[in-house]
Amino acid sequence: MTTRKIRVGVQLQQQHAHDYRAIREAVSRAEDTGVDIIFNWDHFYPLHGDPDGTHFGDGWTLLAAWAEQTSHVELGVLVTCLGYRNPDLLADIARTVDHISGGRVTLGVGAGWFQKDYDEYGYEFGAPGSRLGLFSENLERVKARLARLNPPPRHDMPILIGGSGERKTLREVAKHADIWHSFLPLPEFLRKNALLEEHGAAVGRDTAQIERSMNWPGSGSTVIEAVAPSEAPGVADDFLKAGVTLFTVGASGPDYDFATLREAIRWRDANS
């Protein structure tokens, strides 16, 4: 059993909400459940269901509102695409939201993958290699700007990196991340976790410092979508033994059903 605190997050996906009030209510309910962190996502269109359904796109605008609305839960974007934001401005935005929240922001970043977001909003999609190259360059700029801002963030904002590319993404995780979020079945997670440790050795960093993060089994992830709700705690047990300590439940509009979230929180409390 890990000695790191087990945490449960919820990703309130902005898709298919009838209006903002539904999202605001979901944020309040999520904090009341005792969830550790509330995420949204950085997409401009729904990923599931009607591709032209209702959607509130900019995650950081929402996060600023949630920072005022909430009092103690941590907040983040899972994850911010560094391919369509000026990295210096993003650092300033994250710093500002961190102050609004009183120091509760996790800075989640990734290279981007959903081509419609790029095409519809006029960003260059490019190839995987070019997006990863831009990600590496922009992450360095984000960190450099955070170190120069006056005032600085309220706290040492954790950097969460989403992705599991073996040669480039995991190297960036080893260099920069406080949290690594992946979407992998257990055998692949174990293999890539070992690769992460190799990257850590290469860059001179102890990867035990990095929290491992995963979607709650069967909850909006590519990890064995066929997992029955009754089986999810057992699968989570296996990931916990493998070192994962942050599990995030996906919840989508219009209803933001929290049945799975409550199950995950019960599992967290039973294992804490």
At 225, the pLDDT band (50, 70, 90 cuts) reads: low
Kindly list the domain boundaries of the chain, sorted by start residue: 7-271
Q: Is the pLDDT of residue 224 over 70?
A: no
Cα→Cα distances 85→25, 42, 142, Å: 28, 11, 11
Length of the chain: 272
Q: Which residues contact 266 (CB under 8 A, 6 or more apart)?
A: none
Q: What's the pLDDT score for residue 226?
A: 64
Distance from first CA to last CA of the chain, Å, rounded? 10
Q: Which helix (H) or strand (E) holds 133?
A: helix 128-148
Q: Give yes or no for a contact between 191 and 170, defined as CB atoms under 8 angstroms apart.
A: no
Residue 203's alpha-carbon distances to 75, 113, 171, 182, 212, in angstroms, are 29, 26, 8, 21, 19
Q: What is the mean pLDDT of residues 5-16?
A: 97
Quick one: CATH architecture of 7-271? Alpha-Beta Barrel (3.20)
pLDDT of residue 164: 93
For position 223, what pLDDT does the model report?
Answer: 45
- Residue 221: pLDDT over 70: no
pLDDT tier at 53, thresholds 50, 70, 90: very high
How far is Cα 2 from Cα 100, in angstroms, rounded to an integer?
33
The CB density around residue 229, as the number of other CB atoms within 10 Å, is 12
pLDDT, tens digit, 9 for 90 and up, residues 204-220 = 999 999 999 999 997 76
The pLDDT, as a whole number, for residue 218 is 78
Residue in the block written with tokens 């059903």? 257
Q: Which of 29, 16, 24 is nearest to 259 (CA)?
A: 29
What is the model's pLDDT at position 57?
84
- Look at residue 222 in the predicted model and tell me its pLDDT: 44
